[in-house]
Amino acid sequence: MGVVILLIMALGVLAMLTRKVPTAFALVLLAVAIAVAAGASLSGENSVLDTVLQEGAPALAATMIAIILGSWLGKLLDETGIAGTLVRKIVEFGGDRPVVVALGVLAVSTLVGTVTGSAPAAMLAGIIGIPAMIAVGIPKVTAGGTILMGIAAGMPFELPIWQFFSTALELPIPVVRGFMFKLFPFALAAAVLFVVVESRRRGVEHAWSVRAPAARPSHRRRLGDAPWFALLTPVVPLALALGFELPIIPSLLAGVLYALVTTTRPGEWAKRLLRTLYGGFEVAAPPIALFVAIGMLLAAVKLPGAVSALEPLVKAVSPQNPVLFVLVFTLLVPLCLYRGPLNVFGLGAGIAGVLIAAGIYPAVAVLGLATSYNQVFGVADPTSTQTVWSAQYAGVSPQQVMIRTLPYVWAVALAGLCVTAASYL
């Protein structure tokens, strides 16, 4: 039966890779098929309808709420001009020094990456940042990659990501936070190294030799610069979650309120809150659909029949030696690209669930594995929305950005796997 479940997973990966079926729909079909193959009944305890669909769908509800709040805060950063002001100030400070401008945009991207992810984060930093970098001579591939590397550097402190791994792997937030602390220096070092090395290795391209994409007109242009104290908005949720150890949802809500109060007249609070909240729902809808499907998949692979069928197979191919653990999973890094089987926002979540449910690795070791791979997916996957947007806005292909950024994020994954093996195996 275990072989049958693995074949079902392989068919699911094929459907996602060929884009015959949208990822969220494919994961739901996978969850039902795995449950049926594992011998689950139609209803009752450990069943398809009650356990997989009914209980699995809201299993990641806390993550979904965090995603909505992060998207809401991202919309406020956009509409109030906070993100645009941060980028413009950095560009003004950098002047005609390409590397300084790129490092400044990288810093803003990192801040934005702690608030929200995916294409909205890339747009917040990139709409102004990418044309500014190209204008001072940064190569177009490097400009697009800088935005992505910055978002990835902020990803270890993205509060919705903490909530996701905490809920999906059934780990306390402090445990997730502790590993993210260890991963952050490697992500930041790789991002800085990317900017410095790629800017100098590729050389400066004069502004007249490239066509920088025109920045889209937006409402925030008419608002002017945001007040200096409003620029602290991305730091507020982090400070509360880290310094005061507040729960994630109240921390994000505090960020929303701070952005509102520091940029908006009291008479306009209600309208702006509603407008940006509705906009946040539009941004959050695709990941929420994905998390509903992931919850179902996790419920399916944790069914007793699925665990007992998969345990001997997975255990036979899972390295237990720390050195082999690092070596094998480092070589498998490309399998998290192109919506591959190790993508944590796809079938990788199910594999993580199996590893934990079968007792093959401790949950915290699976956390290290999943977060290390997530650093690669968030930057170099040509099918991820932030990579596609950044590359196309810079005027290059997502594959060009992947080739340029992959060595750096692969090194981050290696570092994360080394920390995991040394600390938890």
pTM above 0.85, yes or no: yes
Q: Indicate the SS3 state at residue 115.
A: coil
Token pair, residue 28, equals 């739901």
Q: Indicate the SS3 state at residue 41.
A: strand
Our measurement of the distance from residue 156's CA atom to the centroid of its chain's CA atoms, rounded to an integer in Å, reads 9
Residue environment code for 266-294, b if the CB has 16+ CB neighbours within 10 A, otherwise e: eeeeeebbeebbebbeebbebbbbbbbbb
Could you list the pLDDT tens digit for every one of the 425 residues in the chain? 778 988 998 888 888 878 788 889 999 999 999 999 999 999 999 999 999 999 999 999 999 999 999 999 999 999 999 988 988 888 888 777 899 999 999 999 999 888 887 788 888 888 889 999 998 889 999 999 999 999 999 999 999 999 999 999 999 999 999 999 999 999 999 999 999 999 887 665 554 444 444 444 444 344 468 898 999 999 999 999 988 889 999 999 999 999 999 999 999 999 999 999 999 999 899 999 999 999 999 999 999 999 998 888 888 888 989 999 999 999 999 999 887 888 888 888 889 998 998 889 999 999 999 999 999 998 999 888 899 999 999 999 999 999 999 999 999 999 999 999 999 98
Task: List, in order, residues 6 or more apart from 26 with CB less than 8 Å away.
Answer: 12, 15, 16
Q: How far apart are CA 326 and CA 414, in angstroms?
A: 7
Q: How many CA atoms lie within 13 A of 407 on its CB side?
A: 7
Which of 121, 103, 123, 113 shows the shortest CA–CA distance to 156?
113
Question: Phi, psi at residue 41, to the nearest 5°?
Answer: -75, 170
DSSP 228: G
Which of 347, 349, 413 shows the shortest CA–CA distance to 378?
413
Is-contact 117 386, C-beta < 8 A? yes
Q: How far apart are CA 142 and CA 133, in angstroms?
A: 9
Q: How far apart are CA 376 and CA 369, in angstroms?
A: 11
Vertex 334: Cα angle to 333 and 340 (nearest 5): 105
Is-contact 105 125, C-beta < 8 A? yes
Token pair, residue 422, equals 């040394």
Q: Indicate the SS3 state at residue 344.
A: coil
